[in-house]
A = this chain, B = another copy of it.
């Protein structure tokens, strides 16, 4: 016999992950002087890097049999496959096909991470709700999808 008393309740579950990557901010349409002026030390020609911290939030209704919206192991595996594998210990400007030609700002990076994760998560009766990405302990971005 199943416990059905809470089957219609939406819960948001989140998984934290991390990746370490190099990048620089650089607009190829601009001179070095303008890049340095706009992006400051983030434009350093030989790159710099970060320990990025990612929080992926999924919404769903807990399953009666498991008590899970989605198995955290599954969510962790999806993040490994679609985010950590392509980004960890990589150069965000050079090594990541889906960041090619884009400024590797936290804003653009979080939008593209959303695009990688949205479909795979939908196959598990859950919906991607929010992504948070910390570039440093003082700077982070949140994204809820766009339209």
Contact = CB atoms under 8 A, between A and B. Distances in A.
Interface string A132-147: 0000111111111011
A48 B137 CA distance: 18
A116 interface: no
A103 B48 contact: no
A141 to B, nearest CB: 5
A42 interface: yes
Contact of A20 (B3, B50, B106, B111): B50
Nearest to A114: B9
A142 B101 contact: no
A118 interface: no
B13 A46 contact: no
Interface string A61-95: 01001111101110010000000000011110011
A58 to B, nearest CB: 10
Given A13-B140, A14-B142, A18-B136, A105 B67 contact: yes
A120 interface: no
Contacts of A91: 44, 46-48
Contacts of A72: 139
Given A62-B107, A67-B25, A107-B67, A89 B14 contact: no
